């Protein structure tokens, strides 16, 4: 997606700030608009509502946890359990959280992404509510079928999605809190769920390496969440969402994001050395180098480099996650 500010010359001017005097704690109804010009099918519309691109990090985190468990192999890839897990971490649980975010952010999307299904009028609030309720139930049931504790984790994830987007708490407007809770939901919860799914006899001690590594990559993910905030900086300023770019400015926020991204991965690299996986530690550290190089351009022009940075740099970060998962597997007694 191109930078929002770069579009201002070709799109209608943003509404005046005076139009957004309604407090964030007050729910505002969005008037339905005509269906967008592209006449897409209902299935395509629902898929768009679920935002498939956001499923990948959660699915990957679950896979890393499964690998780290030491009980996951190639034959498990075609097992019912793994297929249910991919369904859960992708279209079900992640999709539910994305629909919740769209539902509660409909006012903000009127500014930043007016063609999203709800502000664009393609999906009514009633139908959105029904879809969210059904997807929530399906998600919890699917999680329970994999492991009862994973069903409980799904409930926690859905609660986190409410805390992130829903008024009056709306953690996304509270500086660090929003990015942290998203990073936890994207990394720690699915990673540990992957461990539990393939190691039912787990103990706190057996989960410790995964908890440490997932926690460190959560630190890095908090930085990548900050980069995602650049695309909506104008709308966030208007309605009082206190993201890092809004509070500290684009350059300083990009610097903070870069430090967090690098720190989490370098600490994970160091932990690999502590558990005797030297080669993996070197590889994880080396994967930070291309990200560091890309960060120079990011800091120089955050609003135009945000999407490109994440599209390229995230590949190295997630590769490091899988390397750590294999290291944890190798280090098991």
Q: Is the CATH number 3.40.190.10 carried by domain 41-199? A: no
pLDDT digits (tens, 9 = 90+) for 233-282: 877 777 777 888 888 888 999 999 999 999 999 999 999 999 999 999 99
126: pLDDT confidence band, cut at 50, 70 and 90?
Answer: very high
Confidence bin at 3 (pLDDT 50/70/90): very low
Give the pLDDT mean for 105-112. Answer: 79
Q: Tens digits of per-residue pLDDT, 36-87?
A: 445 678 888 899 999 998 899 999 999 999 999 999 988 899 999 999 999 9
Q: What percent of the chain has pLDDT over 70?
A: 88
CA dist., res. 209 & res. 227, Å (int): 28
DSSP annotation of 105 reads T
Mean per-residue pLDDT over the chain, rounded: 86
Q: What percent of the chain has pLDDT over 90?
A: 59
Whole-angstrom Cα distance, residue 178 to residue 133?
23
Tens-place pLDDT, residues 163-196 = 998 888 888 877 778 888 999 999 999 999 999 9
What does the pLDDT read at residue 33?
45
What pTM value is reported for the model?
0.84
Residue 14 has pLDDT above 80, yes or no: no
Contact (CB, 8 A) for 133 and 139: no
pLDDT at 44: 87
- 242, β-bridge pairs: 174
Query: Binning pLDDT at 50, 70 and 90, where does residue 208 land?
Result: very high
C-alpha 103 chain-centroid distance: 17
Taking the C-alpha atoms of residue 234 and residue 112, their distance in angstroms, rounded to an integer, is 8
């Amino acid at each position: 997606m191109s930078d929002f500010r770069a579009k201002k010359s070709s799109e209608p001017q943003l509404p005046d700030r005076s139009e957004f005097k309604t407090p964030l704690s007050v729910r505002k109804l969005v008037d339905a608009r005509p269906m967008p010009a592209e006449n897409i099918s209902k299935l395509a519309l629902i898929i768009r509502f679920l935002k498939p691109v956001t499923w990948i990090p959660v699915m990957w985190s679950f896979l890393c946890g499964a690998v780290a468990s030491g009980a996951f192999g190639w034959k498990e890839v075609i097992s019912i359990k793994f297929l249910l897990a991919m369904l859960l971490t992708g279209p079900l649980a992640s999709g539910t959280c994305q629909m919740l975010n769209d539902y509660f952010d409909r006012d903000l999307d009127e500014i930043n992404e007016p063609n999203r299904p709800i502000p664009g009028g393609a999906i009514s609030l009633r139908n959105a509510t029904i879809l969210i309720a059904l997807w929530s139930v399906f998600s919890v049931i699917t999680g329970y079928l994999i492991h009862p504790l994973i069903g409980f984790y799904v409930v926690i994830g859905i609660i986190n999605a409410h805390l992130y987007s829903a008024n009056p708490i709306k953690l996304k407007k509270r500086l660090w809190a929003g990015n942290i809770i998203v990073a936890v939901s994207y990394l720690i919860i699915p990673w540990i769920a992957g461990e539990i799914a393939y190691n039912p006899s787990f103990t706190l001690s057996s989960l410790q390496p995964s908890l440490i590594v997932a926690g460190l990559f959560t630190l890095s993910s908090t930085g990548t969440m900050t980069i995602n905030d650049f695309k909506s900086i104008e709308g966030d300023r208007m309605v009082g969402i206190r993201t890092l770019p809004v509070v500290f400015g684009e350059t300083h926020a990009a610097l903070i994001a870069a430090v967090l991204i690098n720190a989490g991965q370098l600490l994970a690299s160091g932990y690999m050395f502590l558990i005797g996986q030297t080669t993996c530690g070197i590889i994880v550290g080396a994967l930070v180098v291309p990200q560091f190089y890309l960060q120079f351009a990011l800091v120089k022009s955050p609003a135009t480099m945000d999407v490109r940075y994440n599209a390229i740099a995230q590949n190295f970060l997630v590769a490091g996650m899988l390397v750590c998962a294999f290291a944890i597997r190798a280090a098991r007694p």
